[in-house]
């Protein structure tokens, strides 16, 4: 059996297994040496590598290099540099210059350095032009080259691209592009002029609805079911409520804080005389039911119909999982975004890897 045939068979087996596994498990990030890779439910994949910290850089925030690829036919990789530091929130970076320099070593040293300049996009990010993307990707895969990135005042930071080929191969597999011309690295042997390009899954459209502002409920905390990981606060704590549709009320009981997370347990009461039950948040906590009622660092936006939660893995608040749910016209909460980051390297949730997304329509 040829190598392409083996890959196709592995891909078919992978699809069979994927259909039997929870989507949250399939969407987790993976690490390949210095790279972190994750794909969302529409097979859009992102790979991130952080620059090596430099004592010469006084400002906080470690710049990162990002490769993002859509599974569409003839899609060009999107390559960006980000500065996740405080400067990303202001306007100073919009006037800065970001560049990537490839310096050959060894037998190729005579070629001299090759410089690529990126355009400012916002949110601390600079994107390289599509016409240069494949050339940059090839340079990043050249193990004998020295790669540095500069962004604003953070100059000539070394980027160790070890593990990139494995990261790109993983992206090809997750996007079902192996042995097609659209693959990043696992391209077919010979030329394919006529082939059936895989169709990526569609993302769900969620129409949001506003829900009620918070109010103090008369339900005693001790009457609520216990949630693993939640140590109740003193008995005089007030349970907060949010009116949903009809008689249904979403309840929140604050828990004792973790070292780096403000925890809260969530419940649903379907009527004035009904007993409150654990509220299951779709897609959270890797589908372990009891823990899916426990959220961290919650932000409630009733008029926007959205609840946000971020579970940090460290006191630095630069790694963990960020999720957003929308209240829908059907009276349920649906997951509309999840971002993951296993490495604690100064990047906040805005720069974490998207592992689930839906098209969200805000309430009128």
Let me know whether 157 and 295 are in one domain.
no
Let me know whether 167 and 285 are in one domain.
no
> What's the confidence (pLDDT) of residue 145?
83
| C-alpha–C-alpha distance, residues 102 and 147, integer Å | 5
Let me know whether 246 and 315 are in one domain.
yes
Q: 356 - beta bridge partners?
A: 338
Q: Is residue 269 in a domain? A: yes
- pTM comes to 0.86
Q: Are 290 and 301 in contact (CB under 8 A)?
A: no
Let me know whether 233 and 334 are in one domain.
yes
Let me know whether 218 and 327 are in one domain.
yes
Stronger pLDDT, 346 or 206, i.e. the higher one = 206
Which range marks the domain in which residue 48 is found? Answer: 21-174
| C-alpha–C-alpha distance, residues 125 and 292, integer Å | 33
Let me know whether 170 and 233 are in one domain.
no
| C-alpha–C-alpha distance, residues 176 and 8, integer Å | 9
Let me know whether 130 and 54 are in one domain.
yes
The per-residue pLDDT of the chain, averaged, comes to 85
Last residue of a domain, one of 155, 174, 193: 174
Q: At 289, is the pLDDT very low, low, confident or very high (cuts 50, 70, 90)?
A: low
> What's the confidence (pLDDT) of residue 94?
72
| C-alpha–C-alpha distance, residues 293 and 223, integer Å | 16
What is the percent of the chain where pLDDT is above 70? 87
| C-alpha–C-alpha distance, residues 153 and 59, integer Å | 8
Q: Is residue 74 in a domain? A: yes
Q: Is residue 16 in a domain? A: no
| 208-246 pLDDT, tens digit each | 999 999 999 989 888 899 998 898 777 667 899 999 999
Q: Is residue 182 in a domain? A: no
Output the CA torsion 185→188→193→196 (10° steps): -90
Let me know whether 289 and 211 are in one domain.
yes
Last residue of a domain, one of 119, 152, 174: 174
Q: Is residue 305 in a domain? A: yes
Domains of the chain: total: 2
Let me know whether 150 and 39 are in one domain.
yes
Let me know whether 163 and 262 are in one domain.
no
| C-alpha–C-alpha distance, residues 145 and 147, integer Å | 6
CA neighbours within 13 Å on the CB side: how many for 154? 31
> What's the confidence (pLDDT) of residue 287?
52
Let me know whether 209 and 346 are in one domain.
yes
Last residue of a domain, one of 132, 155, 174: 174
Q: Is residue 328 in a domain? A: yes
Q: At 295, is the pLDDT very low, low, confident or very high (cuts 50, 70, 90)?
A: very high
- Bridge pairing between strands 205-207 and 359-361: parallel
| 112-167 pLDDT, tens digit each | 899 999 999 988 899 999 999 999 999 999 877 899 999 988 999 999 999 999 99
Q: Is residue 89 in a domain? A: yes
Q: Is residue 72 in a domain? A: yes
Let me know whether 135 and 64 are in one domain.
yes
């Amino acid at each position: 059996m040829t190598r392409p045939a083996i890959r196709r068979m592995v891909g078919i087996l992978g699809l069979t297994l994927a259909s039997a596994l929870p989507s949250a498990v399939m969407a987790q990030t993976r690490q390949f040496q210095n790279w972190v890779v994750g794909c969302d439910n529409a097979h859009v994949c992102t790979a991130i590598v952080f620059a090596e910290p430099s004592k010469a850089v006084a400002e906080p925030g470690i710049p990162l290099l990002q490769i993002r690829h859509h599974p569409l036919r003839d899609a060009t990789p999107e390559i960006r540099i980000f500065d996740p530091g405080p400067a990303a929130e202001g306007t100073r970076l919009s006037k800065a210059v970001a560049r990537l320099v490839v310096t050959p070593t060894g037998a190729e040293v005579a070629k001299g350095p090759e410089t690529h300049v990126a355009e400012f996009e916002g949110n601390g990010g600079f994107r390289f032009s599509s016409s240069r993307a494949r050339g940059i990707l090839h340079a990043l895969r050249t193990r004998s080259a020295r790669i540095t990135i500069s962004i604003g005042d953070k100059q000539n930071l070394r980027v160790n691209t070890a593990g990139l080929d494995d990261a790109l191969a993983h992206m090809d597999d997750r996007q079902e592009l192996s042995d097609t011309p659209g693959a990043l690295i696992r391209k077919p042997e010979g030329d394919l002029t006529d082939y059936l390009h895989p169709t990526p899954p569609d993302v769900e459209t969620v129409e949001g609805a506003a829900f009620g502002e918070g109010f103090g409920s008369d339900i005693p905390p001790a009457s609520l079911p216990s949630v693993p990981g939640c140590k109740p606060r003193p008995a005089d704590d007030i349970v907060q409520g949010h009116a949903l549709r009809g008689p249904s009320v979403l309840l929140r009981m604050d828990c004792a804080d973790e070292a780096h997370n403000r925890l809260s347990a969530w419940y649903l009461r379907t009527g004035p005389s009904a007993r409150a039950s654990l509220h299951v948040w779709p897609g959270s906590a890797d589908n372990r039911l009891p823990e899916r009622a426990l959220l961290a660092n919650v932000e409630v936006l009733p008029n926007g119909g959205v609840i946000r939660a971020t579970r940090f893995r460290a006191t630095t608040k630069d790694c963990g999982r960020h999720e957003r749910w929308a209240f829908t016209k059907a009276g349920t909460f649906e997951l509309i975004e999840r971002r993951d980051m296993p490495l604690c390297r100064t990047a906040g949730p805005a720069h974490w890897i998207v592992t689930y997304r839906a098209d969200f329509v805000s309430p009128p």
